[in-house]
Amino acid sequence: MIDLRTLRESPEAVRSGILKKRNDCDLDAVLKADGERRKLIVEVENLRAEQKAANSDMAQMQKGSQEFLEKVGLMKALSARIKESDGLLKELDAAWSDLYLSVPNLPHESVPEGKSEADNVVFKSWGEIPESKPYYIPHYDFDWLEQILDFKRGTKVTGAGFPFFVGDGARLVRSLVSFFLDQANEAGIQEMAVPFFVNAESATATGQLPDKEGQMYQTVEDSLYAIPTAEVPLTNFLRDEILDESDLPIYRCGHSACFRREAGSYGKDVRGLNRVHQFDKVEILKWVKPKSSYDELESLRDYAESLLQKLELPYRALLMCGGDMGFSQTKQYDLEVWAVGQQRWLEVSSCSNFESFQSRRARIRYRDPETGKNEFVHTLNGSGLAVPRVFVAILENGLQEDGSVKLPDVLVPYMGKDRIVKV
């Protein structure tokens, strides 16, 4: 959540940020609810002060006297008013909390204006786009695809968007995950194995709730949410904790299955592995001091880019415009690989700075030795990387005229061979 002081003292700046993100948050309703709540809090505090003063007066009075009995009547009336006001305040607090959580994070000044993905800025490009050749086709048109991917049986067992990876397909997934984790370890990023389900408080802390309810799978009896990314459990690992300044920065990574309902998706974007409901991903998480967070964002993007370079996959880094940026982010880069068979870019990583938006929700602080005060850390995360579309790019870009797929050199030790061949 954004700083409450900013909301109250600089509402026009908040309004401008909401407009830049093309978010439909009703700021007037938020401010009105805040004003009504604050007014009622003052009224309740005044009533309690009056009640306390009356109690003090009664202690000096003779019990049973006319004056005492009048005070008793006054106290009963005050108690009734306080009880009524407390009930109303509880209702206002609940309504205010929901409205406050609906306010998106404000974009950084360096975020470009824009309404949609068409307005994102190409920040960097790397690698040569392969020339089109007759045998370059989309992965979902491979005549031997079922040798490594079985969508039909996945649909039978679970539903659409839950494929089986078979043989070399399963091995390639495992190889990619192992490669990503090994690279993270070499970069000094500590690995964690995370829960695949989280409670509502955890999902709220990272901004999935109340923004993305329709995109998450939820258990019925326990009201737990299947994680859309390891970002959620990783961020909440330090929830409600106060860190020493010397602890920062903290870098962690986690491999997990990711679950996304992706409601409303359709067309070419969902063919094959372009968009599935369950997939593997390695997530990088950073907890840092505020003054270094934007340098940390650039280093996070550089790290994600290095993985694509080692995989020899042409890619571009996009600086996301305000209208195409996430609810919780202040600044976001997306990395897209080129899939030559489809002749299109596919997103494989998103690297974001949240500043204190998540840490306020999760109450993650550090003790500033200079001021002696507890300050909110800044959180950042990035995909390092998401498996399915990297898998796709390897298949399509590595396709040879004989139908085999040449693998990137860095994966050969993991796969135990340099190509996948049609059986």
User: What is the model's pTM?
Assistant: 0.91
pLDDT band at 153 (very low <50, low <70, confident <90, very high): very high
C-alpha 44/C-alpha 406 separation (Å) is 72
Residue tagged 């990876």 (tokens): 165
Q: Residue 269 pLDDT > 80, yes or no?
A: no
Tokens 């004003």, residue located? 35
In the chain, pLDDT over 70 holds for what percent of residues?
98
d(CA 242, CA 325): 30
Mean pLDDT score of the chain: 94
What are the structural domains, with CATH classification, of the chain?
4-101 (1.10.287.40), 117-420 (3.30.930.10)
Q: Is the pLDDT of residue 82 over 70?
A: yes
Beta strands in 299-343 (DSSP E): 315-319, 331-339
Cα–Cα distance for residue pair 137/172, rounded to 1 Å: 20
> Which residues lie below 8 Å from residue 352, measured CB to CB, with a gap of 6+?
297, 326, 328, 329, 330, 331, 332, 333, 380, 381, 382
Structure tokens at 199: 């409670």
pLDDT for res 199: 97
Report pLDDT digits (tens) over 104-133. 999 999 999 999 999 999 999 999 998 889
Return the number of other C-beta atoms located less than 10 Å from residue 416's C-beta.
9
Residue from 125, 39, 26 nearest 336 by CA: 125
Interval 299-310: pLDDT, tens: 999 999 999 999
